[in-house]
A and B are shown apart, each in its own frame.
Chain A
Amino acid sequence: MSKKLIWSIPAASVLGLVCLWPQLSMAQAPAKWPTQDISIVVPYPPGGGTDLTTRALAEEMGKALKTNVSVINQPGASGSIGTIAVWNKPHNGYTISANGLLAFASYPVRGFTEGLYKDHKDWHFWIATYSPNAIVTKGGPDAKYKTMADLLAALKAKPGEITFGTAGVGSGGYMGSEVLKMGTKLNYKHIAYQGGAPAIVGGLSGEVDIVPQLLMEMVDHIRAGKMNALAVLMDKPFKLSGAADIPAITDSVPATKPFLPMGESFGIMVPKDTPANVVQAIDAAFKIAVQSETVKKFAAEKGSIILALSGNEAQAHVAKLLSIVSWTLFDAGQAKTSPETLGIPKVK
């Protein structure tokens, strides 16, 4: 018995140290920034759009800041888990949040961030790239739909039966489907997958008729002819290297115009009360990184456009997304809180 007791003392003290460790290491606020490695939290599993964009950006930002910028994946609940985790960390710039801003804009009305931060004005944003939604279907000789007209005819003939596979409610694919629905006034059947990749597999195998995910997730399947891109949710055609131009949705469904461009823009953010010198350092590193060859090559390969927004421009971009997304979700009955009570204006 006494032997056990003796051993329990060092065991308990080691455990105590382990528990206190994070608090101890975060106690001192550094004057010079950065003095340690920076992590960017991607709130999705690796390999998705946010993850790939962030990794390309992180590498270049690390070079500019002369430190290690590592990417951490902390997935769950449409990315809100990782975002909340960053908010709950010290606001010192060592933990940066990455996100798709469409997904991010959906959190307030869905009640994910209640009691944490009020809205997007509580964050600084840097927006790197944009990739539109593409209305895509299984390609090859047995393709069901060859053009947007084929799909519209099918939607009209069997309302609520054509299946759209997306990465879940509130995802880019879901928003794209909803925009198409608002433009055509035709209903579809929503099939939620656990992420973009499984939805694309569903499209390739024919489990779902349409995959309205982001162009960047499907470019190689389109280039290889395994999938047909019927339209992009932009008001001009998309010139994709290594494949035919993809028609604009406005050619076939002009009524979608007010909601365009629809797609996901990717960027990083830190809470607003992060020290000013840290925000400046991130800003400078971002501006170098986003114009680097790595990011340019990445965008061209991945069916994306470089936006490079920061400061007020980025705030305005998020504000527009917020109103489209919040009201779309609210009209679809998917919002927990009305955007009106949150003070989010309606689009137009």
Chain B
Amino acid sequence: MDWQYFLGVLQFVVQPMSIFTMVLSVFFGLIVGMLPGLTATMAVALLTGLTYKLSNEVAILSLVAVYVGAISGGCQSAILMNIPGTPASAATAVDGFPIGQRGEGGLGIFIATASSCIGTLTGTLCILLLTPPLALLALKFGAFEFFLLALFGVMICGQLTAGTDPLKGWISGILGLIVSQIGMDGMNAYPRFTFGEINLMSGIPLIPVMIGLFGFPEIIYGLVSSTARAQIKTSSLEFKKGFGIMLRNKLNIIRSSAIGVAVGIIPGVGEDVAGWLSYWAEKKSSKTPEIFGKGAYEGVVAAETGNNACIGGALIPVLSLAVPGSAPAAVLLAALWLHGLRPGPLLMSESPGFVIDISVYMAISAIAMVFLALLVSKVTVKILAVKSTILMPIVYVLCTVGAFVISNSIFDIYLVFVFGLVGLLLREMSYPAAPFLLGIILGPMADNSLRRALVLSSGDPSPFFTRPISLIFATAIILMALSQLNAFGWLRKWLVHSELKE
């Protein structure tokens, strides 16, 4: 380790101007992350414009800080209102919302925030120590792996959120995949299912769908049951209990961090998938999988550690290959270029201190984030005590504005209503909405990767089963589907039966 770089960056970050910028950026990120519709990508993009005139160091510090803040902020609205602030915290809502409903909103936010901080710090450690070797992982993912990863993601999300019947989750996921096919296809730019409507050419945008699916039903139910719903007591943060929970989740945190970093490194797969995969892994290895979905602390810890560890992961290919690992990282990459840095294979020789700089920025942002998030949560937990008749119209306006500002398009507001009704129907018939959203996120990747893979192999599907990473995914997918069809039950019965015959 080059200590002079380390000392240099430390001298920079303790300056009042740096601290002020960092705190302000983290705070801005938290608020953007909390508001449904305003995503981490947008926060980084907005700040890229605002930080042109600042010096390189201050600008990059603020961009890293806002990224960390935005990914961490999304958990609060997920826990308190069941509306994930960014797609990254969709997995947090599964267990976070029941925790909030139990009257433990403060505790929920505390463990989510602490997990976010630890996840970010682990990601930082990976950047600092393992950037060159881990970047190779990005090159191991080809078209075959991307397709299977997308399929795997939708399947585990379906299985996790469906409660009793995973088939319902898968149906919801497949519906999402189908909706994602709307728009010009990625191979030949042929418009599919657009019916000549120009707004559909670019496909169904993610954020209006997310707001519709999650926000709209909450608003409707909130208003319908306004008299019936008992007001929930606001809860304190309960530090002591929170620390206890964190200590019990040591293994969970390590596993989720590893998954988050790995998902981050893979180009094009971001924080949302990282949250789901860590949640899945934790549920799989839990001794009490039945408590998941009903307010298990472990679920929140896993999802939040995973999505924040993904930040570090996503920056590894940015720094070493100039290829972004996730959508917000792509904007960050563009910003680095703008400030005259050249992330990529020459970075290590041209500006050897930069990796250390960015790691330190991330680490201090993570720590500042904890204090700010807990401070903010003192106000936000009170949301639970607000009557639905007052709260829901406000949420409704925020949701509509959130959908509009993404691309300043009135069409996106219509989409919120269309997918709001879809979300309402899904919920009425107890289909989970999260796989639908993940289907839309991963649909284009699944589609394009499958077709690219088959062009590469001249139509031969065998590489799906012969490439090592593909084989792992393919096996996992087949096992998951078979166990659902109760194939193992049949097998056991058949074996027992044939033994009896002998």
User: A191 with B202: in contact, given A47-B333, A220-B342, A224-B344 (CB under 8 Å)?
Assistant: no
Q: Give chain B interface residues in 312-327, CB to chain A under 8 Å.
A: 321-324
Give the chain A neighbours of B191 by CB distance below 8 A: 77
A257 within 8 A of B: no
Give the chain B neighbours of A51 by CB distance below 8 A: 334
Within the complex, the shortest CB–CB distance from A240 to chain B, in Å, comes to: 13
Which of A27-35, A192-200, A275-283 lines the interface with chain B?
A192-200
Contact yes or no, B223 A201, CB < 8 A: no
Contact yes or no, B49 A70, CB < 8 A: yes
Within the complex, the shortest CB–CB distance from A142 to chain B, in Å, comes to: 14
B404 within 8 A of A: yes
Candidates A14, A46, A56, A169; contact of B397 at CB < 8 Å: A14
Candidates B138, B201, B345; contact of A221 at CB < 8 Å: B345
Contact yes or no, A204 B346, CB < 8 A: no
Contact yes or no, B334 A55, CB < 8 A: yes
Give the chain A neighbours of B389 by CB distance below 8 A: 3-4, 7
Complex Cα distance A76/B204, Å?
Answer: 11
Contact yes or no, A77 B397, CB < 8 A: no
B408 within 8 A of A: yes
Candidates A7, A81, A168, A201; contact of B393 at CB < 8 Å: A7
Return the chain A residue nearest B41 by Cβ. Answer: A46
Q: Give chain A interface residues in 58-92, CB to chain B under 8 Å.
A: 59, 62, 68, 70-71, 73-78, 80-81, 84-85
A108 within 8 A of B: no
Give the chain A neighbours of B331 by CB distance below 8 A: 46-47
User: A191 with B344: in contact, given A7-B389, A56-B338, A207-B142 (CB under 8 Å)?
Assistant: no
Give the chain A neighbours of B324 by CB distance below 8 A: 47, 197
B371 within 8 A of A: no
Complex Cα distance A230/B15, Å?
Answer: 49
Give the chain A neighbours of B321 by CB distance below 8 A: 201, 204
Within the complex, the shortest CB–CB distance from B182 to chain A, in Å, comes to: 12
User: A77 with B338: in contact, given A3-B389, A18-B404, A204-B321 (CB under 8 Å)?
Assistant: no
Candidates B139, B201, B401, B456; contact of A204 at CB < 8 Å: B139
A223 within 8 A of B: yes
Within the complex, the shortest CB–CB distance from B329 to chain A, in Å, comes to: 10
Within the complex, the shortest CB–CB distance from B158 to chain A, in Å, comes to: 24
B14 within 8 A of A: no
A11 within 8 A of B: yes
Give the chain B neighbours of A163 by CB distance below 8 A: 456
Complex Cα distance A221/B320, Å?
Answer: 10
Does more than half of chain B's interface fall in helix, strand or loop, or is it mixed?
helix
Contact yes or no, A189 B455, CB < 8 A: yes
Contact yes or no, A168 B187, CB < 8 A: yes
Contact yes or no, A11 B396, CB < 8 A: yes
Within the complex, the shortest CB–CB distance from B351 to chain A, in Å, comes to: 13
Q: Give chain A interface residues in 267-281, CB to chain B under 8 Å.
A: none
Contact yes or no, A202 B397, CB < 8 A: no
Contact yes or no, A192 B203, CB < 8 A: no
B189 within 8 A of A: yes
Q: Give chain B interface residues in 56-71, CB to chain A under 8 Å.
A: none
A110 within 8 A of B: yes
A170 within 8 A of B: yes
A341 within 8 A of B: no
Within the complex, the shortest CB–CB distance from A104 to chain B, in Å, comes to: 14
Complex Cα distance A223/B338, Å?
Answer: 20
B96 within 8 A of A: no
B20 within 8 A of A: no
Give the chain A neighbours of B338 by CB distance below 8 A: 52, 55-56, 59
Within the complex, the shortest CB–CB distance from A293 to chain B, in Å, comes to: 11
B452 within 8 A of A: yes
Give the chain A neighbours of B223 by CB distance below 8 A: 4, 7
Contact yes or no, B452 A191, CB < 8 A: yes
Contact yes or no, B334 A205, CB < 8 A: no
Complex Cα distance A71/B448, Å?
Answer: 28
Complex Cα distance A46/B63, Å?
Answer: 15
Contact yes or no, B267 A192, CB < 8 A: no
| Selected A-B contacts with CB under 8 Å, 20 pairs | A4-B223, A22-B410, A46-B45, A47-B334, A73-B45, A77-B184, A189-B455, A191-B456, A192-B186, A192-B452, A193-B452, A198-B323, A201-B138, A201-B267, A201-B321, A202-B142, A205-B139, A205-B142, A208-B456, A226-B345
> Which B residues have a C-beta under 8 Å from some C-beta of A?
45, 49, 52, 138-140, 142-143, 183-184, 186-189, 191, 198, 201-203, 223, 226, 267-268, 321-324, 330-331, 333-334, 337-338, 340, 342, 344-346, 389, 393, 396-397, 400-401, 404, 407-408, 410, 413, 444, 448, 452, 455-456
Known: A47-B334, A201-B139. 6 other contacts (CB 8 A): A14-B397, A74-B202, A77-B183, A81-B201, A197-B323, A297-B340
> Which A residues have a C-beta under 8 Å from some C-beta of B?
3-4, 7, 10-11, 14-15, 18-19, 22, 45-47, 51-52, 55-56, 59, 62, 68, 70-71, 73-78, 80-81, 84-85, 110, 112, 163, 168-170, 189-194, 197-198, 200-202, 204-205, 207-208, 220-221, 223-224, 226, 297, 301, 334
